[in-house]
Amino acid sequence: MRIAVPNKGRLHDPTVELLERAGLHLVDGADRKLYADTVDPDVTVLFARASDIPEYVADGAADIGITGYDQVQESPVDLVELLDLGYGTCRIVLAAPEDGPIETVEDFAGGSVATEFPQITRNYFEREGVDVDIVEVSGATELTPHVDIADGIVDITSTGTTLRMNRLAVVDEVLDSSVRLFARQSTADDPKVRQVATALESVLAAEDRRYLMMNVPEESIEKVKDVIPGMGGPTVMDIAGGDQVAVHAVVAEDRVFETISELKTVGASDILVTEIERLVE
């Protein structure tokens, strides 16, 4: 099975790191290579431009691909989204000069919009029922309204700083994007594809969870269960030669500090907190 991933840019490193954490360790690294084997003899990683990955998957050069949702929406192919990987988040927005006459989407009727995302822009204005001319550019999109090339732009933004620096104001949100796992319709249910998707999902599920282990007096078990119900209830194990039991549970990371305080109040001791590498729910 072949997985297509971004070959460079801000999406490359976190994608390779995620594969590594999921157990798909790359053999001999990935620098300046077009592909890399993994420790799984049935899985190969292909390195491609993020914008080309949808075509790789659709044409069968890769069985699954990891790339931005915006890249798939901009391509002409139809893929199945298997998993939102949660990083590489950004927005594609419609913007116009902040001191200009355009304040709503309808104000663009009969006007023009410059963008590096013509397909996404076309789909957006069709949904809105507004007729505009789309000017496709390959860079410096923010400049176009100030040199009379277009009345506004559709462009990608993370914080909005670049838009403000160029005296542009957001008129509407066009698309929210993040890095996701995609497959063709014909491969989406393949057992190996599902195995890889589950492995990636297990890493994501573990990111905001922590594993707690502690000793608890037997008479305090019910009180401890009230504090940490866990995933279907905590695990309770007898300790040889004593009147205490060992309790293990998974809790949300943002509740660890509060939970430990509550556990000590109800009699828990020797509390150990560890990270979780993978969690299959």
pLDDT at 109 over 60: yes
Question: In which band, very low, low, confident or very high, does the pLDDT at 107 lie, cut at 50, 70 and 90?
Answer: very high
Angle at which helix 191-206 crosses helix 12-21, to 10 degrees, equals: 100
* Number of separate domains in the chain: 3
Q: Are 155 and 95 in contact (CB under 8 A)?
A: yes
Determine, yes or no, domain membership for 73: yes
Determine, yes or no, domain membership for 256: yes
Of the residues 205, 223, 257, which one is the last residue of a structural domain? 205
pLDDT on residue 5: 96
| Residue 193, SS3 per DSSP | helix
| Tens-digit pLDDT profile for residues 130-155 | 999 999 999 889 999 999 999 999 99
Determine, yes or no, domain membership for 167: yes
What is the 8-class DSSP label of residue 230? T
Q: How far apart are CA 44 and CA 35, in angstroms?
A: 7
The β-bridge partners of 4 are 46, 65
Q: In the numeric block, which tokens belong to residue 167?
A: 């005296």
* Domain shared by 184 and 56, yes or no: yes
| Tens-digit pLDDT profile for residues 79-98 | 999 999 999 999 999 999 99
| Sign for the pseudo-dihedral over CA of 232, 238, 239, 243 | positive
Question: In which band, very low, low, confident or very high, does the pLDDT at 163 lie, cut at 50, 70 and 90?
Answer: very high
* Domain shared by 80 and 184, yes or no: yes
Q: How crowded is residue 5: how many other Cβ atoms within 10 Å of its Cβ?
A: 24
Report, as an integer, the average pLDDT of 171-192.
Answer: 96
Q: How far apart are CA 94 and CA 103, in angstroms?
A: 11
Residues of the domain holding 46: 2-87+178-205
* Domain shared by 63 and 113, yes or no: no
Task: Name which of 6, 57, 54, 1 is nearest 34 in CA terms.
Answer: 6
- Which residue type does 200 have? L
Q: How far apart are CA 66 and CA 57, in angstroms?
A: 10
| Tens-digit pLDDT profile for residues 219-254 | 898 898 888 866 567 788 888 767 889 999 899 999
* Domain shared by 253 and 144, yes or no: no
Determine, yes or no, domain membership for 190: yes
The β-bridge partners of 274 are 211
pLDDT at 32 over 60: no
* Domain shared by 150 and 185, yes or no: no
CA dihedral 155, 158, 163, 164 (to 10 degrees): 170
* Domain shared by 222 and 262, yes or no: yes
* Domain shared by 141 and 111, yes or no: yes
Q: Are 93 and 219 in contact (CB under 8 A)?
A: no
Mean pLDDT of the chain: 92
* pTM, 2 dp: 0.84
For 216, the enclosing helix (H) or strand (E) is: strand 209-217
